[in-house]
């Protein structure tokens, strides 16, 4: 690996940290209700929305009511997104005259955007009208991220509150996350992206003059260039860990990600909010060291996988080098020259560490080992930074499991942040671990034995298996990136991955809220000499070990059939 | 449960108005006012009302006198700006290896001056978007002898032009060095006949 690559990775992590710490402190103030600039400017919007919705800001909810409100709101979201797609042909803001989306793809897309997955079984510029992109997809980009944020804040209240039945108001958490966190950040990022050349217009495609008139002999190569309200959607797709792009090839498209600077901004935005939330957590539990410990646990898993992916992609493709290609060029199939191998590999690791799923290069064309790290990061449960809110609440569930295992080893009742961790929390925690893992493995197995599963493959042999494994890993963990060679617009994949996305999102949110409710009811226990401290390097090691052990035992057999065997068959020199 | 229906419906409507209409419209308004060229696709006009290309989307040439772009996987034709696409071929897919073999042979035949020189990878692989406007400096320098020959220029002149059109990394750290193919070809066209 080149010195250039090391320097780029170090600079990326340093910039991320420099931005995440202050943002984390700000988000904590948003949810404690303290005064801040955005509240002074946008406070009337918050209060107006409560008034028309008939919501009292101080009305608290039990965990069951909180979960009901969340599920109902998300259900309405699915219905609206489905309806707008089906009806877009007769609705305004459709300059390309696109017809309604077929039912199975519309269902898949509705679930996909509501669940913060943004799996895309369609090509954006050739399927979705501007109205659908804005009023259906962009809206869900905001509120699905705000939903994850709300669940995290509710879980943190479970730790900080004592002897109470309530964990906050979903309506208030939803509105504050949207208006004070996601909206201002998106506005700034969208304009910064436009300055680089990301398009933002309500017009449709632009016609190119025939090239012959410009002095060319050959026929014009591209008669049309698709345009649209791109920057506004790209900003929130990155900040909200959504990942659903405007164009088919997402952030590899020059009008969605035109320069190295726009690429850097988007790479930072992918991990920004999930990383910042670690520091928000530290502030809200009034012990910054707890947040730093969780951040470090994430970083300890992320950095080696990033280095491994960069190294694998820089090493290039031996099958092509044998044809006389420059071995120093790396693996450039599916990558853009302006980003190069290094920034594409860093992006691939970041977008799968976060449950983002936007891409600036085609993951299907990565080397076997370069594609393995992104796949495994998703399979770990999207907790290494993970989605907005969802990454950290998943990580907190693993922290509970880690203290529980430690408690078993020394024969003491496990505690975390002054709360006893008992059988009920562990049962709910196991659901959080098992649901997505089961969905990935059973879904892939089903795809392998059904003709509809294997007919959709874009690649033969172990790489074809990787395409299926990647698809279900992405769907069940709400990532949304894909090995794009797989044709996923058919009935089988639309429905199967749609169901995986539902299970992987709401099958986790409900148990997490149940844990929040159970914790809030408990009294605090004082720290004693026998309490396991949860901010020490020992605990970080225990937590990382737990995550990697579960992830390795569950998925290495499947990975062995895909990327590992592919590497051993073709890639090993 | 019934008391949750109204807030759920109304807040979704509020979110749709705020983030689905107001937010994109405000961004559109500000973008059109402050960065009109960028917001509309960084278009290059051949004449008023006649759009020749976007500066950000590749516009390939196959003529011997021009620098060639990367291969493209868009359909139905390469560099289709209305439907972006990568090849999504795995690294050892026989179709990828065969396609690259064919491109290598074509390049070798067109560049006898470069016999034995390793071929820059980007020149024979498709990009993620299929619309890549750039090639690497190595890919440009690989072609200088052919372009100089076809245009009756000295190779030094062409090499100098490539160097002048090479953009480096941002802050020396991010992105990769690159040459904008369309701009380089236009700069060649602007040279006085017979070379400078």
Look at residue B196 and tell me if it is in a domain: no
Assess whether B33 and B66 both reside in one domain. Answer: no
pLDDT, one tens digit per residue, over A195-239 is 999 999 998 888 888 754 444 445 445 578 999 999 999 999 999
Contact B82/A223, CB-based, under 8 Å? Answer: yes
**Through-space distance between the first and last CA atoms of chain A, rounded to whole angstroms:** 17
Contact residues, chain A, for B35 at CB < 8 Å: 191, 194-195
Contact B89/A183, CB-based, under 8 Å? Answer: no
Look at residue A435 and tell me if it is in a domain: yes
Whether pLDDT at A351 is above 70:
yes
What is the least distance, in Å, from the CA of B146 to any CA of chain A? Answer: 18
Please give the mean pLDDT across all residues of chain A. Answer: 94
Half-sphere exposure for B140 (CA within 13 Å, toward CB):
26
Per-residue confidence (pLDDT) for residue B193, from 0 to 100: 67
Rounded to an integer, the average pLDDT of A113-140 is: 92
Whether pLDDT at A170 is above 50:
yes
Q: What angle do CA A288, A274, A148 make, to 5 degrees?
A: 110
Contact B42/A324, CB-based, under 8 Å? Answer: no
Look at residue B111 and tell me if it is in a domain: yes
Residue of chain B whose alpha carbon sits nearest to that of A54: B7
Look at residue B46 and tell me if it is in a domain: no
Assess whether B13 and B72 both reside in one domain. Answer: no
Look at residue A296 and tell me if it is in a domain: no
Look at residue B102 and tell me if it is in a domain: yes
Assess whether B34 and B63 both reside in one domain. Answer: no
Per-residue confidence (pLDDT) for residue A204, from 0 to 100: 85
Assess whether B151 and B87 both reside in one domain. Answer: yes
Per-residue confidence (pLDDT) for residue A38, from 0 to 100: 87
pLDDT, one tens digit per residue, over A393-420 is 999 999 999 999 999 888 888 999 999 9
Look at residue A238 and tell me if it is in a domain: no
User: Looking at A116-130, A310-324, B161-175, which range is the least confident one?
Assistant: A116-130
Contact residues, chain A, for B109 at CB < 8 Å: none
Contact B54/A343, CB-based, under 8 Å? Answer: no
Assess whether B73 and B164 both reside in one domain. Answer: yes
Domain membership of residue A409 as a residue range: 390-571
Alpha-carbon distance A409 to A422, whole Å? 15
Alpha-carbon distance A400 to A103, whole Å? 41
Residue B13 class from Cβ within 10 Å (0-12 exposed, 13-18 middle, 19+ buried)? middle
Look at residue B51 and tell me if it is in a domain: no
Residues 84-143 of B with CB under 8 A from A: 84-94, 96-97, 100-101, 104, 108, 118-122, 124-136, 138
How do strand B178-180 and strand B134-135 relate by DSSP bridges? antiparallel
Contact residues, chain B, for A207 at CB < 8 Å: 51
Look at residue A148 and tell me if it is in a domain: no
Per-residue confidence (pLDDT) for residue A209, from 0 to 100: 80
Assess whether B16 and B97 both reside in one domain. Answer: no
Residue of chain A whose alpha carbon sits nearest to that of B10: A53
Per-residue confidence (pLDDT) for residue A364, from 0 to 100: 96
Look at residue B177 and tell me if it is in a domain: yes
Whether pLDDT at A284 is above 60:
yes
Residue B191 class from Cβ within 10 Å (0-12 exposed, 13-18 middle, 19+ buried)? middle
What is the least distance, in Å, from the CA of A19 to any CA of chain B? Answer: 18
Whether pLDDT at A119 is above 70:
yes
Look at residue A216 and tell me if it is in a domain: no
Look at residue B131 and tell me if it is in a domain: yes
Assess whether B132 and B183 both reside in one domain. Answer: yes
Assess whether B11 and B97 both reside in one domain. Answer: no
Contact B118/A326, CB-based, under 8 Å? Answer: yes
Which of A138, A221, A326 is nearest residue B121 as measured by Cβ atoms?
A326
Contact residues, chain A, for B121 at CB < 8 Å: 316, 320, 325-326, 329-332
Contact residues, chain A, for B55 at CB < 8 Å: 197
Per-residue confidence (pLDDT) for residue B48, from 0 to 100: 85
Q: What angle do CA A489, A495, A496 make, to 5 degrees?
A: 105
A39 vs A65 pLDDT, higher one: A65
SS3 of A274-335: HHHHHHHHHHHCCCHHHHHHHHHHHHHHHHHHHHHHHHHHHHCCHHHHCCCECHHHCCCCCC
pLDDT, one tens digit per residue, over A545-560 is 999 999 999 999 999 9
Rounded to an integer, the average pLDDT of A103-115 is: 95
Instruction: Tell me how many residue pairs between chain A and chain B have CB atoms under 8 A apart.
Output: 384
pLDDT confidence of A527, banded at 50, 70, 90?
A: confident
Assess whether B19 and B110 both reside in one domain. Answer: no
Which of A55, A461, A571 is nearest residue B7 as measured by Cβ atoms?
A55
Domain membership of residue B30 as a residue range: 2-38
Look at residue B44 and tell me if it is in a domain: no
What is the least distance, in Å, from the CA of B74 to any CA of chain A? Answer: 10
Contact A183/B93, CB-based, under 8 Å? Answer: no
What is the least distance, in Å, from the CA of B4 to any CA of chain A? Answer: 6
ipTM: 0.96
Per-residue confidence (pLDDT) for residue A104, from 0 to 100: 92
DSSP string for residues in A102-157: PHHHHHHHHHHHHTT----SS-HHHH--HHIIIIIIIHHHHHHHHHHHHHHHHHHH
Contact A339/B21, CB-based, under 8 Å? Answer: no
Per-residue confidence (pLDDT) for residue A215, from 0 to 100: 45
Total domains present in chain B: 2
What is the least distance, in Å, from the CA of B135 to any CA of chain A? Answer: 6
Q: What are the beta bridge partners of residue A419? A: A416
Assess whether B70 and B139 both reside in one domain. Answer: yes
Per-residue confidence (pLDDT) for residue B194, from 0 to 100: 57
What percentage of chain A reaches a pLDDT higher than 70? 98
Total domains present in chain A: 1
Assess whether B85 and B178 both reside in one domain. Answer: yes
Token code pair at residue A15? 């910039």
């Amino acid at each position: 690996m080149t010195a250039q690559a090391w320097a780029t990775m170090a600079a990326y992590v340093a910039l991320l940290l420099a931005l995440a710490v202050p943002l984390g402190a700000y988000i904590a103030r948003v949810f404690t209700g303290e005064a801040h600039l955005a509240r002074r400017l946008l406070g009337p919007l918050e209060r107006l929305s409560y008034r028309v919705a008939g919501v009292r800001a101080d009305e608290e909810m039990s965990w069951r009511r909180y979960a009901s409100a969340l599920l109902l709101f998300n259900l309405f979201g699915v219905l609206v997104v489905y309806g707008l797609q089906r009806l877009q042909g007769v609705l305004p803001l459709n300059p390309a005259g696109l017809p309604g989306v077929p039912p199975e793809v519309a269902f898949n897309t509705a679930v996909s955007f509501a669940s913060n997955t943004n799996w895309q079984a369609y090509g954006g510029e050739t399927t979705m009208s501007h109205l659908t992109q804005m009023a259906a997809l962009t809206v869900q980009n905001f509120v699905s991220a705000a939903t994850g944020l709300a669940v995290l804040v509710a879980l943190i209240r479970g730790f900080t509150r004592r002897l109470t039945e309530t964990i906050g108001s979903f309506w208030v958490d939803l509105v504050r996350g949207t208006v004070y966190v996601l909206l201002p950040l998106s506005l700034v990022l969208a304009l910064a992206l436009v300055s680089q050349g990301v398009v933002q217009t309500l017009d449709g495609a632009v016609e190119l003059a025939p090239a012959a008139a410009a002095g060319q002999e050959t026929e014009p190569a591209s008669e049309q260039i698709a345009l649209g309200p791109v920057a506004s959607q790209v900003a929130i797709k990155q900040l909200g860990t959504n990942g659903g792009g405007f164009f088919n090839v997402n952030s590899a498209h020059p009008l969605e990600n035109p320069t190295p600077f726009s690429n850097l901004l988007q790479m930072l935005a992918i991990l920004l909010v999930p990383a910042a939330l670690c520091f928000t957590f530290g502030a809200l539990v009034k012990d910054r060291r707890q947040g730093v410990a969780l951040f470090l646990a994430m970083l300890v898993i992320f950095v080696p996988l990033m280095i491994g992916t960069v190294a694998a992609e820089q090493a290039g493709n031996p099958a092509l080098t044998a044809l006389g290609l420059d071995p120093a060029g790396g693996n450039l199939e599916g990558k853009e020259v302006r980003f190069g191998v290094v920034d594409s590999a860093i992006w691939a690791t970041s977008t799968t560490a976060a449950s983002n799923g936007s891409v600036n290069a085609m993951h299907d064309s990565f080397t076997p080992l370069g594609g393995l790290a992104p796949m495994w990061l998703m399979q770990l449960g999207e907790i290494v930074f993970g989605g907005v809110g969802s990454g950290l609440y998943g990580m907190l569930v693993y922290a509970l499991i880690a203290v529980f295992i430690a408690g078993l080893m020394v024969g003491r009742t496990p505690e975390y942040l002054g709360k006893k961790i008992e059988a009920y929390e562990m049962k709910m925690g196991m659901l959080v671990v098992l649901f997505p893992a089961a969905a990935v493995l059973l879904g892939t197995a089903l795809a392998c034995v059904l003709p509809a599963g294997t007919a959709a493959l874009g690649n033969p042999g172990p790489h074809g298996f990787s395409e299926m494994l990647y698809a279900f890993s992405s769907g069940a963990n709400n990532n949304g990136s894909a090995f794009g060679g797989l044709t996923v617009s058919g009935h089988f994949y639309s429905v199967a991955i749609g169901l995986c996305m539902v299970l992987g999102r709401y099958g986790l949110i409900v148990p997490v809220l149940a844990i929040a409710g159970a914790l809030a009811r408990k009294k605090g226990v004082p720290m004693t000499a026998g309490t396991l401290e949860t901010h020490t390097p020992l605990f970080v090691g225990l937590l990382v070990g737990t995550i990697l052990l579960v992830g390795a035992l569950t998925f290495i057999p499947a990975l062995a059939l895909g990327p590992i065997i592919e590497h051993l068959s073709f890639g090993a020199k | 449960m019934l008391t949750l229906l109204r807030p759920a419906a109304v807040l979704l409507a509020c979110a749709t108005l705020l983030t689905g209409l107001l937010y994109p419209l405000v961004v559109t308004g500000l973008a059109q006012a402050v960065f009109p060229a960028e917001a509309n696709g960084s278009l290059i006009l051949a004449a008023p009302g006649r759009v020749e290309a976007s500066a950000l989307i590749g516009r390939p040439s196959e003529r011997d006198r021009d620098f060639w772009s990367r291969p493209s996987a868009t359909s139905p034709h390469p560099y289709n700006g209305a439907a972006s696409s990568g090849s999504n071929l795995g690294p050892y897919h026989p179709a990828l290896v065969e396609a690259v073999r064919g491109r290598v042979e074509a390049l070798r035949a067109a560049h006898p001056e470069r016999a034995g020189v390793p071929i820059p990878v980007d020149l024979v692989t498709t990009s993620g978007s299929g619309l890549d406007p750039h090639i690497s400096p190595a890919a440009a320098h690989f072609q200088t002898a052919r372009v100089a020959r076809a245009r009756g220029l000295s190779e030094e002149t062409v090499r100098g032009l490539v160097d002048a059109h090479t953009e480096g990394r941002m802050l020396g750290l991010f992105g990769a060095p690159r040459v904008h193919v369309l701009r380089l070809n236009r700069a060649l066209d602007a040279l006085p006949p017979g070379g400078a």
